[in-house]
A and B are shown apart, each in its own frame.
Chain A
Amino acid sequence: MLSFSNLDVISLDAIPVLSYGTFLTTVLDHMKANDARHCVNYMGYRLPNGDLECFCVLADDSTSQLFVARYHLAASGTMALPSLSAHYRAFHIFERVLWENHGVQFTDHPWLKPVRYPHDAAHGATIDSYPFFRIEGGEVHEVGVGPIHAGVIKPGHFRFQCTGEDVVHLEIKLGYQHRGIERLMVHPSTMLQRTVLAESIAGDTTIGHTWAFVNAMQALMRGTVSDAVEIERAIALELERIAIHIGDLSALNLDVAYQLGSAVLGALRTPMINFFQWWCGNRFGKGLLRVGQNRSSLTPALQDQLVETLDDMERRYRPIADTMFELPSVLARFERTGIVTTEQAHIIGAVGMAARSSGLRRDVRRSHPHGVYRAEDVQTHVLHSGDVMARTYLRKLEIDASITYIRILLDRLRTASRDNGTLEDRPVRELAPRSMVVSMVEGWRGELVHTSITDEHGALVHHSVKDPSMHNWFALALSLRGNEISDFPICNKSYDLSYCGHDL
Chain B
Amino acid sequence: MISIALILLSSVFFIGIVNRTKSIASGRIGPGLLQHLKDIVRLLKKGSVTSTSSSFIFQLAPTISFVTVIVACLFLPFGDQPSILSFQYDVVVFAYLLALGRFSMILMAMDTASPFEGMGANREALYGMLVEPAFFVLAGSFAVLTGHTSLNEIFRDMHLGSGVSYLMAAFAVYVFLQIAMVENSRLPVDDPKTHLELTMVHEVIILDNSGFDLGMILATTSIRFAMFGVLISNFALPPMVPLWGKIIIAIVVMAVFAVVVGLLESFRARNRMKRNPQFIFTLTSIAILVFFTVLILTNKLVL
Contacts and interface: CB of A to CB of B under 8 A. Distances in A.
B269 A253 contact: yes
B199 to A, nearest CB: 4
Interface string B270-293: 111111000000000000000000
Q: Chain A interface residue count: which class?
A: 20 to 34
A333 B188 CA distance: 12
A151 interface: yes
Nearest to A485: B198
Nearest to B22: A259
Interface string A25-61: 0000000000000000000000000000000000000
Contact of B274 (A151, A262, A484): A484
Given A141-B115, A333-B269, A486-B198, A259 B25 contact: yes
B26 interface: yes
A165 B191 contact: no
Contact of B27 (A151, A267, A327, A332): A267
Given A165-B273, A329-B188, A257 B193 contact: yes
Contact of A142 (B115, B198, B266, B267): B115
A263 interface: yes
A182 interface: no
Contacts of B22: 259
Secondary structure of the A contact surface, majority rule: helix
B116 interface: yes
Nearest to A323: B267
Contacts of B138: none
Interface string B173-212: 0000000000000011001011111110000000000000
B268 A258 contact: yes
Nearest to A489: B196
A258 B266 CA distance: 7
B269 A145 contact: no
A192 B269 CA distance: 47
A378 B9 CA distance: 61
B199 A486 contact: yes
B266 A260 contact: yes
B198 A259 contact: no
B196 A260 contact: no
A121 interface: no
Interface string A279-300: 0000000000000000000000
Nearest to A143: B115
Contacts of A141: 115, 118
B28 interface: yes
Interface string B91-122: 00000000000000000000000011011000
A264 B27 contact: yes
Secondary structure of the B contact surface, majority rule: loop
Interface in B194-246: 194-199
A333 B270 contact: yes
Contacts of B266: 259-260
A256 B26 contact: no
Contacts of A171: none
B182 to A, nearest CB: 15
Contacts of A329: 188, 268-271
A257 B187 contact: yes
Contact of B269 (A143, A257, A264, A489): A257
B272 A487 contact: yes
B265 interface: yes
B18 to A, nearest CB: 12
A475 B60 CA distance: 44
Contacts of A484: 272-274
A141 B196 CA distance: 19
A394 to B, nearest CB: 19
Given A165-B273, A259-B25, A143 B268 contact: no
A493 B104 CA distance: 34
A489 B198 CA distance: 8
B26 A263 contact: yes
A485 B119 contact: yes
Interface in A289-337: 327, 329-330, 332-333, 337
Interface string A136-157: 0000011111000011000000
Contacts of B115: 141-144
B274 to A, nearest CB: 6
Contact of A330 (B119, B265, B269): B269
A258 B274 CA distance: 18
A145 B199 CA distance: 12
A489 B25 CA distance: 25
Given A257-B187, A329-B188, A263 B199 contact: no
Contacts of A486: 198-199, 272-273
Contact of B198 (A256, A264, A330, A488): A488
B118 to A, nearest CB: 8
Contacts of A260: 25-26, 266-267
Contacts of A100: none
A255 interface: yes
Contacts of A264: 26-27
B198 A333 contact: no
A151 B267 contact: no
Please indicate which of the listed interface residues A260, A337, A486, A487 has the most CB atoms of chain B within 10 Å of its own CB.
A486
B196 A255 contact: yes
Contacts of B265: 257, 259
Contact of B28 (A144, A150, A263): A263
A484 B272 CA distance: 9
A143 B25 contact: no
B48 to A, nearest CB: 21
A213 B186 CA distance: 48
B137 to A, nearest CB: 26
A437 B275 CA distance: 53
A267 B27 CA distance: 10
Contacts of A255: 194, 196, 199
A262 B193 CA distance: 12
Contact of B268 (A327, A337, A489): A327
A258 B269 contact: yes
Contacts of A330: 269
Contacts of B116: 143
A144 B115 CA distance: 8
A61 B58 CA distance: 59
Nearest to A261: B269
A263 B199 CA distance: 20
B200 to A, nearest CB: 9
Interface string A157-183: 000000001000000000000000000
Given A256-B269, A258-B268, A330-B269, A150 B27 contact: no
Given A150-B197, A165-B273, 13 more contacts: A141-B118, A144-B115, A150-B195, A256-B270, A257-B188, A260-B25, A260-B266, A260-B267, A264-B27, A327-B269, A486-B199, A489-B196, A489-B199
The 3 closest A-B pairs by CB, nearest first: A263-B26, A257-B270, A256-B269
28 contacts: A141-B115, A143-B115, A143-B119, A145-B197, A165-B274, A257-B269, A258-B269, A259-B25, A259-B26, A259-B266, A260-B25, A260-B26, A260-B267, A263-B27, A263-B28, A264-B27, A330-B269, A332-B272, A333-B269, A333-B272, A337-B272, A484-B274, A485-B119, A486-B272, A486-B273, A487-B272, A487-B273, A488-B199
